[in-house]
């Protein structure tokens, strides 16, 4: 069993700081020990208990620490230990509510500020909790691990594996089970109109790996992969209910998938749809000719109970070493990468979400600083009342308690309003989240989130209430000693306020820098040279089943006819097809061999993105031909095989040479042979897999000379895609009624989809930074105006004595600008240190981009000056006679 982490212990130590030093010396270490004991004790009762224990300890320690300062426990014992008696607290409560209602302006500002802070935090926390912290809904989900092929150059790569490699790995002791699968879409025919269903091919029981049992029948088994085994399929519970009305006699029925017949042998339990949102899992007959060189499978397994990820990885890599030696051809430099399933599901969003939570945390701190400032001002105006109460015998502790009650009432009201904001915020977040943000369905304001908000409310009350509370207690002591008038501690107050201001400015600067960096990244992303024209292009994918389209003649003939008919459609300018559409999901990377050059050894082979194209493709997508020619209708199966390559391909393989006329072979075979291609043209590089990665070397060969029967058809419309859309399906149906259209989308949407995550983080961080800026400006204005009003008399004297009005304005301006400058310097340092957290979210922008830092600083300073200018101007215009009469 593990004790509390360093972070947790640090929190406890910070809370312990509330106690006076001599108390900490005597008991600090023992209290930490007691906390560790309690941590271990509650840990066995689950995370929620532990969190509750931590939270209670932090709150209690801080409160008791303040109490100890006000009234040391080692002297007298005239009040009971557990705080003022209940009726006194109730009395404070009633008093507070009355007082707050008398000052609706103050109350409204304070509650609104807190509501914004608490609301934003609650909303973002519900996302973090739902997406990152909630375990996956499977038994011992932390033992579910996916395995990928990696290599020594890139040990974190996530490549597909070959099934013999997976089988070897499955035999290792750290895995209880390991099953190969391949995510796939299937054309389902024979049940009404042809359509695409998401699913997977499986070489074993996925359900068993997840610790589940089929609802009906059986799951796919390893025996189903043997040569000659019957083709079987398992359907999801939802599919069974929708398509077969939950018919218990569904077993034995036949599904036709991609033109092949599969017998239904099982129904999965409700809710199971791994991988992705699969509805079908069918058996996959392993091809004995397709050995360790065939990397077509992903795999998922369950670690043996007691085995750790590190052990499994060690064992896997020992296995990889031995495979490298035994099979140098196929396994050269090959390693395995193990990724916990939750990490795979959550993937890239982890950093982004934590950064967002950090950002809203900063906003909340700024909100607290603002409210603390407001309370200090109030404490000042009420110091007369406090002194009277102290003189009448109220103890310091009683007065501090009253301030704490006021803080709690304010923060509770703010928290309640914040919850409403959070409810609306979570809905807005769901709508604006990028499509690839996983597990959005788990995001909700649930009991854990409510607990979090409650914790926020109490901590917030302590944060902004502690300073005024201690101040109140001191005031009473001071006034009962008769050493100060009704307005005590003025100088110290001014310093506290300045520090709070500096803090607000520093925090705002950090947020603004983050927003600035993301904004610049977004600009850079928008400016990426795509290499094609995505406007007015709509696309869809087709899969021609081998049973009906067995050879290149059939395949080429189909696409010829299709594109001919599409071109004949009114409003269509161009149409063409390709295997690996830009920013699509299909990617084929292959080794290449230039004719006349010695064959490269293992691991030294050149790679290129392998693509097919029909004659109309380049025009449809808007890729210009730079040299030579494109693909022509005459490039048929019986003509000389040709290829068009990208500029990067030329740079990599023919530096300083003439590429046209060179002959290359590629390590790809779609079952129609492996021809030698003669290069006849050059096209620009295009952005193909993501906006942020460098364009690959690419080669395009005629679809009609190579296959396969899978391609994405791109249609360029003359004026917008909307009028063309309805005809697409009809054109395809006319040619082959059993071909469903897959993944219909506009190219613009495909590009926008890649921008979406950055847009999402940018929008939120910019929102929080804006909020921070407004709060800081309001805080600054309020404090400077207040301080100036307290110096009215002094200013009046100065003016009467002939002081220049400009120097008076400068005097007031300095009250705001000086702490702001301190805040800017601290903020710059903090942003400098913290910006690297954003590194993963940035594109072509250094986290320490000097322009952003300078620009943001300038913006902040302008706001600072603007916020202080008004009170400064008012002070300068003061009429000395009025001012001297003021007090």
Partner 1 sequence: MSDIPHLPLSPLDYHVLVALAEEDLYGYAIMKAIEKESGGALTPEIGSLYRVLARLQDQGLLTEADAPEDAPDTQRGRPRRYYRSTPLALKVLRAETERVGRVVDRARSLLVGEGRP
Residue numbers of the site for partner 1 (CB under 8 A)? 3, 15, 23, 26-27, 29-38, 41, 56-57, 60-65, 67-68, 73-75, 77, 80-82
Cβ proximity to partner 1: between 398 and 648 the closer is 398
**Tokens at residue 332, please?**
């050269």
Cβ proximity to partner 1: between 57 and 331 the closer is 57
Cβ proximity to partner 1: between 14 and 881 the closer is 14
Cβ proximity to partner 1: between 53 and 175 the closer is 53
Question: Could you tell me the smallest distance in angstroms from the CB atom of residue 55 to partner 1?
Answer: 11
Buried b (16+ CB within 10 A) or exposed e, 520-553: bbbebbeebebbbebebbbbbbbbbbbeebeebe
Cβ proximity to partner 1: between 71 and 688 the closer is 71
Secondary structure (3-state) at 267: strand
Distance CA 124, CA 760 (A): 13
| Nearest one of 184, 198, 187, 219 to 296, comparing CA atoms | 184
Strand partners for 150: 335
Cβ proximity to partner 1: between 60 and 844 the closer is 60
Distance CA 857, CA 864 (A): 10
| Nearest one of 382, 383, 371 to 408, comparing CA atoms | 371
Crossing angle between the packed helical segments 490-526 and 850-876, to the nearest 10 degrees? 140
Question: Could you tell me the smallest distance in angstroms from the CB atom of residue 26 to partner 1?
Answer: 7
Strand partners for 266: 217, 234
Q: How distant is the alpha carbon of residue 198 from its chain centre?
A: 25
Question: Could you tell me the smallest distance in angstroms from the CB atom of residue 53 to partner 1?
Answer: 9
Question: Could you tell me the smallest distance in angstroms from the CB atom of residue 367 to partner 1?
Answer: 26
Residue 622 φ/ψ region, left for φ over 0, alpha for ψ in the -120 to 50 degree band, beta for the rest? left
Question: Could you tell me the smallest distance in angstroms from the CB atom of residue 452 to partner 1?
Answer: 20
Q: Are 614 and 781 in contact (CB under 8 A)?
A: no
Question: Could you tell me the smallest distance in angstroms from the CB atom of residue 329 to partner 1?
Answer: 54
Cβ proximity to partner 1: between 33 and 840 the closer is 33
Question: Could you tell me the smallest distance in angstroms from the CB atom of residue 23 to partner 1?
Answer: 7
Cβ proximity to partner 1: between 35 and 175 the closer is 35
Question: Could you tell me the smallest distance in angstroms from the CB atom of residue 451 to partner 1?
Answer: 17
| Nearest one of 208, 180, 164 to 319, comparing CA atoms | 164
* Helical ranges in 78-160 per DSSP H: 86-102, 104-128
Cβ proximity to partner 1: between 77 and 447 the closer is 77
Distance CA 567, CA 877 (A): 76
Cβ proximity to partner 1: between 60 and 326 the closer is 60
Cβ proximity to partner 1: between 74 and 793 the closer is 74
The two beta strands, 606-613 and 663-666, are unpaired
Q: How distant is the alpha carbon of residue 272 from its chain centre?
A: 24
Rg of the Cα atoms in the chain = 35
Report angle CA 853, 855, 859 to the nearest 5 degrees: 115
Question: Could you tell me the smallest distance in angstroms from the CB atom of residue 691 to partner 1?
Answer: 49
Question: Could you tell me the smallest distance in angstroms from the CB atom of residue 77 to partner 1?
Answer: 6
Buried b (16+ CB within 10 A) or exposed e, 805-832: eeebbebbbebbbebbebbbebbbebbe
Cβ proximity to partner 1: between 59 and 821 the closer is 59
Cβ proximity to partner 1: between 67 and 365 the closer is 67
Distance CA 71, CA 67 (A): 6
Residue with tokens 């000086």: 818
Distance CA 387, CA 478 (A): 9
Cβ proximity to partner 1: between 55 and 244 the closer is 55
Question: Could you tell me the smallest distance in angstroms from the CB atom of residue 496 to partner 1?
Answer: 25
Question: Could you tell me the smallest distance in angstroms from the CB atom of residue 57 to partner 1?
Answer: 5
- DSSP state at residue 724: T
The answer, yes or no, to whether the previous bond of 275 is cis (omega within 30 of 0) is yes
- Rounded to 5 degrees, what are φ and ψ at 334? -90, 135
Question: Could you tell me the smallest distance in angstroms from the CB atom of residue 412 to partner 1?
Answer: 20
Distance CA 138, CA 124 (A): 25
Report angle CA 781, 787, 788 to the nearest 5 degrees: 85
| Nearest one of 97, 95, 13 to 61, comparing CA atoms | 13
Question: Could you tell me the smallest distance in angstroms from the CB atom of residue 458 to partner 1?
Answer: 13
């Amino acid at each position: 069993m593990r004790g509390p982490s360093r972070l947790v212990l640090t929190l406890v130590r910070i809370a312990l700081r509330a106690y006076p030093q001599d108390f900490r010396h005597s008991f600090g270490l023992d209290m930490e020990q007691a906390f560790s004991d309690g941590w271990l004790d509650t840990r066995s009762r689950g995370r929620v208990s532990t969190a509750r224990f931590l939270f209670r300890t932090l709150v209690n320690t801080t409160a008791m620490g303040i109490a100890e300062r006000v009234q040391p426990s080692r002297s007298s014992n005239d009040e009971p230990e557990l705080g003022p008696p209940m009726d006194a607290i109730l009395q404070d409560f009633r008093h507070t509510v009355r007082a707050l209602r008398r000052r609706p302006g103050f109350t409204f500002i304070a509650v609104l500020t807190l509501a914004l802070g608490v609301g934003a935090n609650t909303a973002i926390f519900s996302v973090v909790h739902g997406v990152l912290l909630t375990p996956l809904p499977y038994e011992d989900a932390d033992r579910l691990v996916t395995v990928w092929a990696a290599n020594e150059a890139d040990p974190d790569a996530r490549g597909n594996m070959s099934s013999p490699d997976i089988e070897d790995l499955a035999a290792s002791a750290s895995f209880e089970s390991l099953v190969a699968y391949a995510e796939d879409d299937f054309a389902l025919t024979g049940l009404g109109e042809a359509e695409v269903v998401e699913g997977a091919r499986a070489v074993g029981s996925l359900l068993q790996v997840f610790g589940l049992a089929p609802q009906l029948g059986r799951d796919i088994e390893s025996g189903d992969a043997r040569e000659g085994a019957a083709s079987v399929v398992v359907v999801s519970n939802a599919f069974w209910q929708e398509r077969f009305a939950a018919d218990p006699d569904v077993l034995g029925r036949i599904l036709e998938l991609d033109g092949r017949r599969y017998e239904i042998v099982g129904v999965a339990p409700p809710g199971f749809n791994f991988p992705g949102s699969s509805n079908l899992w069918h058996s996959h007959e392993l091809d004995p000719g397709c050995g360790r060189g065939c990397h077509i499978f992903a795999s998922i397994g369950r670690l043996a109970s007691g085995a750790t990820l590190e052990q499994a990885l060690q064992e896997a890599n020992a296995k990889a070493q031995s495979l490298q030696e035994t099979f140098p051809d196929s396994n050269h430099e090959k390693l395995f990468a193990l990724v916990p399933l939750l990490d795979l599901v959550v993937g890239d969003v982890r950093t982004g979400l934590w950064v967002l939570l950090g950002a809203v945390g900063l906003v909340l701190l700024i909100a607290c600083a603002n409210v603390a400032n407001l309370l200090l001002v109030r404490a000042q105006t009420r110091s007369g009342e406090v002194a009277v109460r102290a003189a009448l015998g109220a103890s310091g502790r009683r007065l501090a308690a009253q301030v704490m009650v006021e803080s709690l009432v304010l923060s509770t009201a703010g928290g309640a309003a914040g919850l409403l904001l959070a409810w609306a915020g979570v809905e807005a977040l769901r709508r604006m989240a990028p499509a690839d943000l996983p597990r959005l369905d788990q995001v909700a304001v649930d009991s854990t989130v409510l607990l979090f908000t409650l914790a926020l409310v109490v901590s917030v009350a302590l944060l902004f209430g502690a300073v005024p509370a201690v101040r109140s207690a001191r005031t009473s002591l001071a006034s009962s000693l008769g050493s100060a008038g009704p307005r005590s501690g003025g100088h110290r107050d001014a310093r506290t306020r300045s520090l709070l201001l500096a803090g607000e400015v520093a925090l705002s600067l950090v947020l603004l820098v983050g927003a600035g960096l993301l904004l610049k990244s977004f600009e850079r992303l928008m400016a990426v040279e795509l290499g094609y024209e995505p406007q007015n292009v709509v696309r869809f994918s087709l899969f021609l089943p081998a049973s009906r389209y067995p050879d290149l003649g059939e395949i080429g003939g189909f696409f010829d006819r299709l594109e001919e008919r599409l071109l004949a459609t009114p409003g269509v300018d161009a149409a063409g097809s390709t295997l690996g559409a830009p920013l699509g999901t299909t990617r084929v990377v292959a080794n290449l061999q230039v004719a006349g050059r010695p064959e490269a050894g293992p691991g030294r082979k050149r790679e290129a993105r392998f693509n097919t194209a029909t004659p109309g493709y380049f025009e449809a997508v808007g890729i210009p031909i730079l040299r030579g020619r494109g693909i022509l209708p005459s490039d048929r199966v019986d003509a000389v095989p040709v290829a068009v390559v990208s500029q990067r391909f030329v740079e990599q393989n023919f530096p300083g040479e003439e590429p046209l006329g060179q002959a290359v072979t590629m390590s790809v075979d779609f079952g129609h042979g492996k021809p030698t291609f003669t290069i006849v043209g050059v096209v620009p590089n295009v952005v193909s897999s993501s906006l942020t990665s460098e364009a690959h070397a690419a080669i395009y060969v005629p679809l009609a000379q190579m296959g396969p029967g899978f391609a994405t058809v791109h249609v360029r419309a003359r004026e917008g895609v909307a009028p063309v859309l309805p005809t697409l399906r009809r054109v395809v149906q006319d040619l082959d009624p059993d071909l469903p259209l897959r993944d219909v989308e506009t190219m613009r949407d495909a590009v926008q989809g890649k921008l979406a995550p950055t847009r999402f983080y940018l929008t939120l961080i910019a929102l929080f930074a804006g909020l921070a800026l407004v709060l800081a400006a309001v805080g600054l204005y309020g404090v400077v105006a207040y301080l100036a009003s307290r110096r009215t008399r002094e200013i009046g004297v100065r003016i009467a004595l002939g002081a220049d009005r400009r120097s008076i304005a400068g005097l007031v301006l300095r009250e705001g600008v000086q702490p702001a400058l301190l805040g800017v310097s601290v903020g710059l340092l903090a942003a400098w240190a913290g910006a690297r957290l954003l590194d993963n979210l940035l594109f072509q922008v250094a986290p320490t981009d000097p322009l952003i830092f300078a620009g943001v600083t300038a913006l902040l300073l302008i706001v600072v000056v603007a916020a202080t200018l008004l009170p400064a101007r008012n002070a300068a215009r003061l009429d000395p006679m009025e001012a001297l009469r003021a007090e």
